[in-house]
Amino acid sequence: MQLICLLLACASPAEAVPSHPRELALTPRPAAPPRPEDHRARLAGGLAAYLGRDAAAPAVRLTLRFKTGAWLDPAGKEGLAEGAAALFRTGGTARLAPEELDRALEDGAIEISADAEPDAFTVSLWSLTRCMEPALRLLAEMLRSPRVDAERLAVWKAQKLQALAALHDRPDEILRLYWRDLLWGSGHVVGRRPARAAIAAIEPADIKAWLAAWLTPGNCILAATSDLPVADLAAALDAHLAGWEGAAAAWPPLPDPLPPEPPGIYVVRRDLAQCAVRLGHRSIKYGDPEHHALLVLSEALGGGSFQSRLTGRVRVQEGLTYGIASFVAPGWKFPGTVFIQFNTDASRAARALAITMEEIERLAAHGLPEDELASTVETMVARFAGAFEDLHGALAAIARLEHEGRPPDYYTTYVARLRALTRAEIAQAAKKFLKPGEIRVLIAGDPDKLREGAAKDGIALETFGPLKELPIRNPME
């Protein structure tokens, strides 16, 4: 509705308003991601870096990406990487007590944070350029000599347990966690999750050893920007990070994926105003030759724009949800997933699910017509161009490519690869990767209302596979 109002306001009386968003004439913005070779540098101690000058603001931004992550948490201490992220920021340093570190950061308006991802650990810094020296000095101190304060660890444990206790109150979190169980198995590293006993078992010495083992320059790729000349930024980084030492740490072998649960409908019973639905199956790894074709298929199916098929039918025509989207999430250590997600009233979930399956089957059988392929690609190109307006974000994305061992020209060739796709290639990818018979449906909501709504709409749920109610996995037990 906002888009239509904007078109009406901007169009002159002589201009015809398109009858459908697909008829909009897009003016492509130049999509020019930075070339990795123009920004690659090697700093003191062998630290790999991507450096750039961004004169838009007098600020310094750093992202350090380490090759580790929650997948490597030892059995019985799941949550260790997450605890290390919290204590890296809040635990103090050998010289500064936690309160003193807090005060030093606050006095300099400096932001330093850390985050543990499944397959990476990131540290971020932001400061005004005039505060760059104290900011880098504090960061270097946190990297070289972190303190793991026992009281701050106790605070993090209490906060983590509180979050675990509320886990089943958040529909999207339910989908995220139980989805891992369906596709990977709760015993696989992808499906594991922290619980009370594992959090309680984490000691200060565990986090201290973890930080020492993984937070080394040989295990890191840095993205850094400022409004200074790149040579000045590199000199400042060299000066403050000198003496930070350590080689790359080898990843231990990860287990092969477990067989997924059989196709069907899986319900986590919750009394929610709206149920949350996710459906899909395992998919590709990065580097698959049909990666770009699958991205286009996902965009056409439910990429989030009003041009997508699912938005047009499930949201606009049927009014069953405020939003529905499809996602392709390739993996690099393991195969990724392709899935669709939406929220709706439990009594209408079967109807929304039936329409979604119809569109998947139609796309798998027939691919995309030429005009829809062209408009979908140009929508993706326009969005892609906007992703590189922030230089720091662009360099951090390039650093991630290197971290995951992906081709460094992925972004610089992205638009050309999209525009080179043919209808035949799209049709081939649709038949290969969209597999209606392998779909698992996960629902957080009331299964009784689901069945009642299906009966009212004349929908046989068994056409999607058997319905199974999943037991609640209580992380507090």
- Angstrom distance (rounded) from CA 206 to CA 80: 8
Residue 96 maps to a domain:
yes
Half-sphere exposure of 5 (CA within 13 A, CB side): 2
Measure the CA–CA gap between 433 and 229, rounded to whole angstroms.
47
313, 209: one domain: no
Give the pLDDT score at 475.
Answer: 82
Judged against a pLDDT cut of 60, whether residue 263 lies above it is answered with yes
233 & 355 share domain? no
**What is the per-residue pLDDT for 251?**
86
User: Do residues 67 and 219 lie in contact, with contact meaning Cβ atoms separated by under 8 Å?
Assistant: yes
- Give whole-number Cα distances, 233 to 51, 113, 166, 238, 347, in Å: 8, 20, 44, 9, 58
Res. 351: pLDDT tops 70: yes
Tell me: do 178 and 304 sit in the same domain.
no
The sign one gets for the Cα dihedral 284, 289, 290, 291 is: positive
User: Could you report the per-residue pLDDT of 120-139, keeping only the tens digit for each?
Assistant: 999 999 999 999 999 999 99
Instruction: Print the domain residue range for 453.
Output: 264-469
- Whether residue 183 is found in the same domain as residue 294: no
Same domain as 207, residue 273 = no
Q: How many CB atoms are closer than 10 A to CB 56? A: 11
CA distance 383 to 378: 9
Whole-structure pTM value:
0.89
Identify whether 257 is part of a domain: no
Residues 186 and 301 in one domain: no
Which pLDDT band, with edges at 50, 70 and 90, does 8 fall under? very low
